[in-house]
């Protein structure tokens, strides 16, 4: 989710830094296809081994996208003060419009939260009831940590299940999580395969996920975009009503 959103923002002319903050098990380098290009990571910058600009890896697919890898090991030793200094160093190196901090599914990244450098949070939930409940709990936790701007991104949304009534509709998910919706990414097998080979949604033909991320990026830039704008197979008002769960 973070990688595709970062690319969509970059394609809109925004300078974006995508930082992998999963300090226990980094994986964004694999999803971006740059595993063999990593020389230094966030730990190296935090401990003063290199300057922050040496950690920033430019993505060749966009002139506006940079990546910073999570530590190969030792990430838990990074303090909130060191993490904050990394953000300052990154902004000195490049005038980024957006810095996306990709955190693990748990809330166990104290350096990120305690640094106070996050202005907003996008909480990713799948269509599973347990994930929706966890999204609500995450939202409450982040609110207590003074992150007032919280948005919900529904990933792997089951369109057929929602239309058929087997899965909750969008309105029900919002009611359960108590979080404002910023977008929906449908379940598509091609997107999963792309993540395993370093390809992003914009590089995969015929997937609705590409339109989904473009829509979310536009909304984050302050534009009004209909929920299913550009989606194939969502055409009638009746289909939309069933997906929303209003009938």
231-245 pLDDT per residue, tens: 987 655 666 776 777
Same domain, 154 and 244: yes
Specify the CATH number for the domain of residue 181.
3.40.50.300
Q: What is the pLDDT of residue 240?
A: 73
Same domain, 23 and 132: no
Same domain, 84 and 190: no
Q: What is the pLDDT of residue 247?
A: 41
Same domain, 130 and 104: no
Same domain, 27 and 128: no
Beta bridge partners of 122: 151
Domain limits for position 207: 119-247
CA dist., res. 82 & res. 93, Å (int): 16
Q: Average of pLDDT values for 13-25?
A: 93
The confidence band for 108, taking pLDDT boundaries of 50, 70 and 90, is low
Residue 16 scores a pLDDT above 90: yes
Same domain, 123 and 244: yes
pTM across the whole model: 0.91
Last residue of a domain, one of 118, 152, 178: 118
Last residue of a domain, one of 84, 118, 152: 118
Helices (H), the chain: 2-11, 28-31, 42-46, 80-93, 110-114, 129-144, 159-164, 170-177, 189-196, 208-220, 237-244
Same domain, 193 and 218: yes
Q: Average of pLDDT values for 43-62?
A: 96
Calculate what percentage of the chain has a pLDDT beyond 90. 66
CA dist., res. 44 & res. 75, Å (int): 10
Same domain, 152 and 169: yes
Q: What is the pLDDT of residue 167?
A: 87
Q: Which of 104-108, 115-119, 144-148, 158-162 has the lowest mean pLDDT?
A: 104-108
Same domain, 123 and 242: yes
Q: Average of pLDDT values for 37-47?
A: 95
Report the domain count for the chain: 2
Pairwise pLDDT comparison (105 vs 48), residue with the higher score: 48
Same domain, 188 and 234: yes
Last residue of a domain, one of 118, 149, 164: 118
Q: How far apart are the first and last CA of the chain?
A: 30
Query: Whole-number mean pLDDT of the chain?
Result: 90
């Amino acid at each position: 989710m973070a990688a595709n959103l970062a690319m969509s923002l970059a394609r809109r002319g925004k300078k974006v830094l995508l930082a992998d903050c999963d300090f226990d098990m980094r994986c964004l380098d694999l999803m971006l296809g740059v595993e063999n290009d990593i020389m230094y990571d966030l730990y190296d910058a935090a401990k003063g081994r290199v300057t922050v600009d040496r950690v920033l890896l430019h993505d060749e697919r966009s002139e506006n996208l940079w990546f910073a890898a999570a530590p190969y090991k030792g990430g838990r030793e990074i303090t909130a003060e060191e993490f904050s200094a990394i953000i300052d160093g990154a902004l000195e190196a490049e005038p980024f419009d957006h810095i996306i901090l990709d955190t693990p599914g748990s809330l166990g990244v104290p350096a990120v939260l305690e640094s106070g450098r996050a202005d907003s949070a996008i909480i990713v939930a799948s269509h599973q009831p347990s994930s929706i409940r966890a999204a609500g709990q995450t939202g409450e936790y982040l609110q207590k940590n003074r992150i007032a701007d919280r948005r919900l991104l529904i990933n792997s949304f089951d369109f057929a299940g929602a239309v058929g009534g087997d899965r909750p509709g969008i309105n029900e998910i919002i009611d359960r999580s108590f979080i404002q919706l910023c977008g929906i990414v449908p379940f598509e097998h091609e997107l999963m395969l792309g993540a395993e080979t370093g390809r992003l949604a914009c590089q995969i033909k015929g997937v609705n996920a590409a339109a989904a991320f473009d829509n979310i990026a536009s909304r984050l830039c302050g534009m009004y975009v209909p929920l299913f704008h550009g989606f194939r197979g969502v055409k009638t008002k009746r289909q939309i009503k069933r997906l929303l769960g209003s009938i």
